[in-house]
Structure 1
Amino acid sequence: MQALYRNPVRVKICGITTPADAQLAAVAGADAIGMVFYPPSPRNVAITDAQQILAAVPPFVTRVGLFVNPQRAWVEEVLAACALDMLQFHGDEEPEFCAGFQRPYLKVLRVSGECDLRPWRDRFGTAQGLLLDKRDAQVFGGSGQSFAWWRLPQDLGIPLILAGGLHPENVATAIDVARPYAVDVSSGVEVSPGRKDRGKMERFIAQAHAAREA
């Protein structure tokens, strides 16, 4: 099966909370921006704020909504008000739930190091991709913690996205080791939770886009 890894890798900036940060991420070259619809998160956005953020996102930048073990009604309420292109599920959601909103979705796997991804691929066969993040009993993403990277399989038949503890100084190494389809960053390009740093975003994206397969 043909490998899904391509250069440059795609970049998603997650935890966007303001229209200005959405615009800066897009100008810096982000392929996608993510907004968190999970009230316990310091990066949570209200629907009205999300609408303003989405209005600031230019064409051809994918708009992703992140949820953690949500009620169906909450996802439907968000989708009714916000023009999201893709959903991202960080909790213990079942495949049938994730696939039930007429949107492409990513399923997040919380890992600590190398593991067999085939059972997850088989279970979440309807997903657009699997996102690997650091396992943390208390935090669903945005912890700034990384896990032990390993060479991700290139013949799995589903895009693999690397997250967890990435920042401008280590993203090139992470790509060199793991060979992901895309990388996802939140706290690694912030000045404070939910507030992005323009310089960090620019450096992160430049490093990710410059990374080359050995």
Structure 2
Amino acid sequence: MKVKICGLKTVKDAKFAAAAGADMVGFVFAKSKRQVTAEQAHEMAKEIPGDCLKVGVFVNPTLEEVLFYKKTVPLDYIQLHGQESAEFVQQVGPAIKAFKVQDGEINGDISAYKDCLILLDAPPKEFEGGSGESFDWEKLQLSDLPKSRLMIAGGLDPQNVTEAIQIFKPFGVDVSSGVETDGIKDTSKIKTFIKNAKGADKHDLSSTQ
């Protein structure tokens, strides 16, 4: 089970997430209360071991913008939360394409994006890129999902991540606000989230409750 800790803003938190076992760390470049600059992301990235992938989060960026951040930070993956076309996603290299889920329906055609990871998230509130709330897991038609490259986000936290993994059996999970306390990354929550997520695919749900 791959775990991405997103919305990192400090070197200390980025180093902790990687040391705690995160497979990916996310830097938000789109408008957000967690938005960081290329320089801030670079300072975090250079303190993170190479086996922990660095992901940049964007909403409807230009190709030039993505390539600048990809080289400057540098980034391993580009995560896109806007209306980016499949052709654009192919141009930016390894990518995670996010789709909003509402009332059991995925907003967009995930079948058009065959060469990237697919991230399912709840509709945004103040900013694009996630609301910190979960979508209705039970309403989604699971048989249509590409589980080998599926990532789940939206309202995940240390308490519910096990259930999410048992339902979706995804490639990975993505969390930001769910490992924060009062808007600040909480090392205890990060550690517990990663532990629970990585244990979820080894035990049945009854043994983790």
TM-score by length of 1: 0.86
* Counterpart amino acid of residue 172 in structure 1: T
Offset at residue 158 of structure 1 (A)? 4.7
* Equivalent residue number for residue 131 of structure 2: 143
**Contact 2:147-2:169 within 8 A present in 1 as well:** no
Per the alignment, do residues 154 and 142 of structure 1 end up closer, same or farther by CA in structure 2, a change over 3 Å counting?
closer
* Equivalent residue number for residue 156 of structure 1: 146
Per the alignment, do residues 42 and 152 of structure 1 end up closer, same or farther by CA in structure 2, a change over 3 Å counting?
same
Q: Which runs of 5+ in 1 are unaligned?
A: 1-8
Offset at residue 26 of structure 1 (A)? 0.9
CA distance in 1 between counterparts of 2:103 and 2:51 reads 33
* Equivalent residue number for residue 12 of structure 1: 4
Deviations 1:180-205 (A, max 9, x none): 11110000001243x31100001111
CA distance in 2 between counterparts of 1:207 and 1:112 reads 26
Percentage identity across aligned positions? 38
* Equivalent residue number for residue 119 of structure 2: 131
CA distance in 2 between counterparts of 1:118 and 1:75 reads 22
CA distance in 2 between counterparts of 1:137 and 1:189 reads 19
* Counterpart amino acid of residue 78 in structure 1: Y
1:27 is aligned, of 7, 19, 25, to 19
What's the secondary structure of 2:39's corresponding residue? Answer: helix
Offset at residue 142 of structure 1 (A)? 4.0
How many residue pairs get matched?
201
**Contact 1:10-1:183 within 8 A present in 2 as well:** yes
1:185 is aligned, of 158, 175, 180, to 175
Offset at residue 149 of structure 1 (A)? 1.0
* Equivalent residue number for residue 5 of structure 1: none
Offset at residue 62 of structure 1 (A)? 0.8
Q: Which runs of 5+ in 2 are unaligned?
A: 205-209
Offset at residue 100 of structure 1 (A)? 1.0
CA distance in 2 between counterparts of 1:197 and 1:184 reads 15
What's the secondary structure of 2:124's corresponding residue? Answer: coil
Deviations 1:35-62 (A, max 9, x none): 0111x20111111111101011112101
TM-score by length of 2: 0.88
CA distance in 1 between counterparts of 2:113 and 2:2 reads 21
> What is the 5 A alignment of 1:165-176?
165-176=155-166
Per the alignment, do residues 118 and 98 of structure 1 end up closer, same or farther by CA in structure 2, a change over 3 Å counting?
closer
State the structure with bigger RCO (CA 8 A, min sep 6), 1 or 2: 1
Offset at residue 116 of structure 1 (A)? 6.6
C-alpha RMSD of the superposition = 2.1
**Contact 1:142-1:187 within 8 A present in 2 as well:** no
Offset at residue 33 of structure 1 (A)? 0.3
